[in-house]
């Protein structure tokens, strides 16, 4: 099948909040979309609990008007336009699962919180997407969610569970024919590359009051763990524009950005992955997520 709905290469990404996709995979998404692959993003929550950076929009926050979710739906749509991605969805529909807070926060146990949802119940929504889109490649976080945020950990659990359930012919026949995802990747950042980025940041004239630390970057690992590297240099501008579209969450300045903690970080335009399921040619790093995949 190579018609418009089923291009030969199909990539699925599962993320916790609007903005995670642009920060982690913006260049990868732009590249594969530009090359004609079908890129499907599933975001698990609306990010309702996020802190708001621009003072003029501070009233949207959960402890004030609590209207941040709807605003972030629009930010995500604008970001996807920058990346050329047309298929973006929310797990179970917009607002089905609510953003949890940081680990230990009381709102994590609230009715409807993503962190409080049974994994299999949330995974069933993703099984339906997997069996309909039939991606060969899935990208999500590692078991720690990259940095321990409950929604990111839950997104990992749901994505991995859904990949298994989607392939299981005995699970929910009503959700479509079984489908096995050939390759699964976790988001990674090699320590050496992150260190280089912070060195550039320290040498640059930026207005962020302080600089983040390499170990605060989600998914930082020793370089040897990396299996796959996607050179997104040609899509750096698209990635930066997508990050800028998430204006309540990200302040972009040149090739650098800060989240609400105001700590400067480099925008990383080469994106790295660890292949955790599927075949890889022995030896050097992959430079294509679809390497070895047959349509
Ligand atoms: Zn997030």
pLDDT tens for residues 108-160?
888 899 999 999 999 999 999 999 999 999 999 999 999 899 999 999 999 99
Q: Give me the phi and psi of 211, to 5 degrees please.
A: -110, 140
| pLDDT band, very low/low/confident/very high, at 7 (cuts 50, 70, 90) | confident
Does residue 2 surpass a pLDDT of 70? no
pLDDT at 249 (0 to 100): 97
| pLDDT band, very low/low/confident/very high, at 281 (cuts 50, 70, 90) | confident
| pLDDT band, very low/low/confident/very high, at 1 (cuts 50, 70, 90) | very low
Q: How far is the CA of 171 from the centre of ligand 1 (A)?
A: 29
Going by their DSSP bridges, the two strands 256-258 and 251-253 should be labelled as: antiparallel
By percentage, how much of the chain surpasses pLDDT 90?
Answer: 87
Q: How far is the CA of 287 from the centre of ligand 1 (A)?
A: 26
Q: How far is the CA of 173 from the centre of ligand 1 (A)?
A: 32
Q: How far is the CA of 20 from the centre of ligand 1 (A)?
A: 5
| pLDDT band, very low/low/confident/very high, at 295 (cuts 50, 70, 90) | confident
The Cα–Cα gap between 12 and 2 comes to 17
Strand order in the sheet with 263-266: 210-211, 263-266, 256-258, 251-253
Query: Which of 38-52, 184-198, 205-219, 254-268 is the least confident region?
Result: 205-219
Mean pLDDT, range 45-60, rounded to an integer: 96
pLDDT at 102 (0 to 100): 80
Render pLDDT for 20-31 as a digit per residue (tens, 0 to 9). Answer: 999 999 999 999
H or E element at residue 78:
helix 68-83
Q: How far is the CA of 174 from the centre of ligand 1 (A)?
A: 31
Q: How far is the CA of 52 from the centre of ligand 1 (A)?
A: 14
Q: How far is the CA of 43 from the centre of ligand 1 (A)?
A: 10
Q: How far is the CA of 179 from the centre of ligand 1 (A)?
A: 28
Q: How far is the CA of 160 from the centre of ligand 1 (A)?
A: 17
| pLDDT band, very low/low/confident/very high, at 284 (cuts 50, 70, 90) | confident
Classify residue 175 by its DSSP letter.
G
The Cα–Cα gap between 136 and 184 comes to 9
Mean pLDDT, range 34-56, rounded to an integer: 97
Q: Contact 50/76 with Cβ under 8 angstroms?
A: no
Mean pLDDT estimate for the chain: 94
Q: How far is the CA of 19 from the centre of ligand 1 (A)?
A: 7
Residue that the structure tokens 């930082």 belong to: 220
Mean pLDDT, range 158-181, rounded to an integer: 98
Q: How far is the CA of 62 from the centre of ligand 1 (A)?
A: 16
Does residue 88 surpass a pLDDT of 60? yes
Residue that the structure tokens 């294509």 belong to: 288
Q: How far is the CA of 23 from the centre of ligand 1 (A)?
A: 10
Does residue 289 surpass a pLDDT of 70? yes
Q: How far is the CA of 162 from the centre of ligand 1 (A)?
A: 20
pLDDT at 104 (0 to 100): 81
Render pLDDT for 194-219 as a digit per residue (tens, 0 to 9). Answer: 999 999 999 998 889 899 999 889 99
| pLDDT band, very low/low/confident/very high, at 3 (cuts 50, 70, 90) | low
Q: How far is the CA of 222 from the centre of ligand 1 (A)?
A: 22
Q: How far is the CA of 234 from the centre of ligand 1 (A)?
A: 25
pLDDT at 5 (0 to 100): 60
Mean pLDDT, range 274-295, rounded to an integer: 89
Q: How far is the CA of 292 from the centre of ligand 1 (A)?
A: 31
């Amino acid at each position: 099948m190579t018609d418009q709905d089923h291009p030969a290469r199909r990539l699925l990404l599962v993320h916790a909040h609007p903005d995670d996709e642009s920060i982690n995979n913006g260049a990868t998404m732009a590249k594969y979309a530009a090359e004609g692959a079908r890129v499907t993003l599933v975001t698990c929550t609306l990010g309702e609990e996020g802190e708001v950076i621009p003072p003029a929009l501070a009233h949207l926050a959960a402890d004030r008007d609590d209207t941040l979710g709807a605003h972030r739906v629009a930010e995500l749509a604008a970001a996807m336009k920058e990346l050329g991605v047309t298929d973006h969805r929310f797990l179970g529909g917009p607002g089905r699962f609510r953003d949890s807070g940081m680990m230990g926060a009381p709102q994590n146990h609230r009715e409807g919180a993503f962190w409080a949802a049974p994994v299999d119940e949330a995974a069933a929504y993703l099984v339906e997407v997997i069996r309909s889109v039939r991606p060969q490649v899935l990208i999500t976080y590692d078991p720690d969610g990259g940095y321990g945020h409950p929604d990111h950990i839950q997104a990992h659990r749901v994505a991995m569970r859904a990949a298994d359930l989607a392939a299981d012919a005995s699970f929910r026949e009503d959700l479509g024919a079984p489908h096995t995802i050939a390759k699964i990747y976790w988001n990674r950042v090699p320590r050496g590359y992150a260190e280089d980025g912070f060195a550039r940041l320290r040498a640059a004239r930026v207005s962020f009051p302080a600089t983040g630390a390499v170990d605060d970057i989600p998914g930082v690992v020793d370089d040897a763990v990396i299996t796959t590297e996607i050179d997104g240099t040609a899509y750096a501008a698209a990635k930066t524009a997508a990050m800028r579209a998430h204006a309540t969450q990200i302040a972009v300045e040149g090739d650098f950005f800060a989240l609400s903690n105001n700590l400067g970080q480099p925008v990383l335009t080469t994106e790295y992955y660890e292949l955790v399921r599927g075949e890889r040619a022995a030896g050097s790093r992959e430079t294509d997520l679809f390497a070895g995949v047959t349509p």
